[in-house]
A = this chain, B = another copy of it.
Amino acid sequence: MITRLSTLFLRTLREDPADAEVPSHRLLVRAGYVRRVAPGVYSWLPLGLRVLRNIEAVVRREMDAIGAQEILFPALLPREPYQATGRWTEYGANLFRLRDRKGADYLLGPTHEELFTLTVKGELSSYKDYPVILYQIQTKYRDEERPRAGILRGREFLMKDSYSFDLSDQGLRHSYQLHRDAYVKIFNRLGLRYVIVSAVSGAMGGSASEEFLAEVETGEDTFVRSTESGYAANVEAVITPAPPARPVEDLPPAQVLHTPRTPTIDTLVDHLNKAGLGRTFTAADTLKNVMVKIRQPGAQDWQLLGVGIPGDREVDPKRLAASLDPADVALLDDADFAAHAFLVKGYIGPGALAAHGVRYLVDPRVVPGTAWVTGADRSDHHVVDLVCGRDFIPDGTIEAAEVRAGDPSPDGAGTLVAARGIEIGHIFQLGRKYTDAFALDALGPDGKPIRITMGCYGIGVSRLVAAIAEQSHDQHGLVWPREVAPADVHIVVAGKDETVRATGEQLAVDLDSAGVRVILDDRTATPGVKFADAELIGVPTIVVVGRGLASGVVEVKDRATAERTEVPVDGAVAHLQELCRK
């Protein structure tokens, strides 16, 4: 079917929408793909819906190819299953909650782990029924605090979520790998530039987890990558390479120094370098002890925790929280310090912590045999040459220090650089959190129950429209990869001459018969307006039917490269068919 701009429900805008922060939002609105209905809630106009459906089709094809079976859950869900797993409350304000006319509690599904688990429990019973992978492409709801960037972070959005159910950890790893391979195929087909980063999991609980991030400067997610290898990871997932432990023998003894007026690491280093100790200190030689308190899930009480990191780095709150997950973590307040008088603020050292049974975790760089300048647990005093493994024994290590550009890559190749991206996919070995909650067992060959283990795997389908637009546009408009474009060819009828009009019309009809998806600009607008709209809409191939006709040619322009070719009218259909087949 030919899409005629004379009747298409489309109005392009010359001006950027006032609330648009990022290019995809700006262009998807200007080109008439989406319209805002409420914060984070959008309508899809005809061209936008086509792109969305094209992406959906790619996702569906690759999911079917790994034997995943499509089902469809409602978005309106009863409270009970989410109550059973604790997510009714855990989700906090992110959950849209409502009551029906009888006063029963419902929610709009943010993810469907509970429903998938219960449904499998309802249908399957024997070990012979496993493994199974189920998926849906379905509308989800999250009451984001700050919906932003149009459809990039919406409150109503389309997701593909799949779940694998396996009898064993080995089976789960296989299902995980199937998804990983399928995701690579999907994102490659969609023409995306992306990285796969190690991720730590959020509220979902579990172990192995990777994120697919589309590389976009305006992305919300930060990650680091190696300058030399393919290594990439969420900042939360970066493992600090630890230096080898060194022997503690023959190291100088620790000595306590009077260090007045050294409230900061810088002033302390400065003081030490002027103290005539015969060597030069840097901030990296100091050990900063940050006091926090943590509370395990379900626990009432907070526990003190000391976190020791090299003084040249700050604590990264996200890395600290990820390392301590699922426990809550908070900095100590004045009341906490008052309650623990042995904590000499500004001069806390490992000694007082050990003496009072406070757990003490250190940065992985703090290995046995390393010597540190740190607090002496006495006002205005620090200790120098305090040796790990000799003068103090930490209770373990923790990834809490910030990751910096230039840090060595954990895989040993190159150094790390920071980058930004948009999360477009997430794969996750969820384990038995939900199967435990709902007692999902298979009856084994020996008649004994086998607790099922799960994986969960998401793709942000509507977000992908924006992610692709973010990566694929220029100053004139959108530049769609052919696989997702709302059409293959955009014919601009440039001129009011009857021959021009009739030729454009015939070309559209012939291309349509040949299975090429055509937009025909048959409006009465000026060629200038039509060219601008063609660039803005971003179909991969633009054909101009106009002055060239005098010499029997039409102009074929590649939207991405701006390359122009003159093609004889007679051979245009064959030429374009060939282009679209690529």
Contact = CB atoms under 8 A, between A and B. Distances in A.
B98 A97 contact: yes
Contacts of A37: 73-74, 77-78, 115
Contacts of A7: 67, 132
Interface in A38-72: 38, 41-46, 49, 52, 64, 67, 69-72
Contacts of A104: 38
Nearest to A97: B98
Interface string A378-412: 00000000000000000000000000000000000
Contact of A43 (B1, B9, B72): B72
A261 interface: no
A8 interface: yes
B132 A9 contact: yes
A44 B72 contact: yes
Interface residues of A, number: 53
A69 B6 CA distance: 13
A35 interface: yes
Contacts of A11: 123-124
A77 B43 contact: no
A10 B132 CA distance: 11
A143 interface: yes
B72 A123 contact: no
A97 B108 CA distance: 12
A96 interface: yes
A73 to B, nearest CB: 5
A101 interface: yes
A76 interface: yes
A259 interface: no
A45 B71 contact: yes
B108 A101 contact: no
Nearest to A41: B74
B101 A64 contact: no
Given A38-B76, A74-B156, A76-B156, A43 B115 contact: yes
A143 B101 contact: yes
A30 to B, nearest CB: 13
A139 interface: yes
Given A9-B71, A37-B115, A71-B49, A100 B143 contact: yes
B119 A35 contact: yes
B1 A75 contact: no
Nearest to A3: B69
A155 B74 CA distance: 10
Contact of A71 (B46, B96, B123, B141): B46
A88 interface: no
Contacts of A155: 76, 100
Contacts of A447: none
A66 to B, nearest CB: 12
A106 interface: yes
A145 interface: yes
A134 interface: yes
A49 B74 contact: no
A143 to B, nearest CB: 5
A330 interface: no
A76 B41 contact: yes
A41 B96 CA distance: 17
A93 interface: yes
A510 B435 CA distance: 40
A519 B114 CA distance: 29
Contact of A70 (B46, B69, B108): B46
A93 B97 contact: no
Contacts of A98: 96-98, 108
17 contacts: A7-B67, A9-B124, A11-B124, A35-B122, A38-B74, A38-B77, A38-B78, A41-B77, A41-B78, A43-B72, A43-B115, A44-B73, A75-B75, A76-B108, A96-B98, A100-B143, A101-B145
Interface of A: 1, 7-11, 32, 35, 37-38, 41-46, 49, 52, 64, 67, 69-78, 93-94, 96-98, 100-101, 104, 106, 108, 115, 119, 122-124, 132, 134, 139, 141, 143, 145, 155-156
Given A9-B132, A74-B156, 8 more contacts: A8-B69, A38-B74, A43-B119, A44-B72, A46-B70, A75-B139, A76-B156, A93-B101
| Closest 10 A/B residue pairs (Cβ) | A98-B98, A44-B72, A93-B101, A38-B78, A11-B123, A41-B74, A74-B156, A76-B156, A9-B69, A101-B143
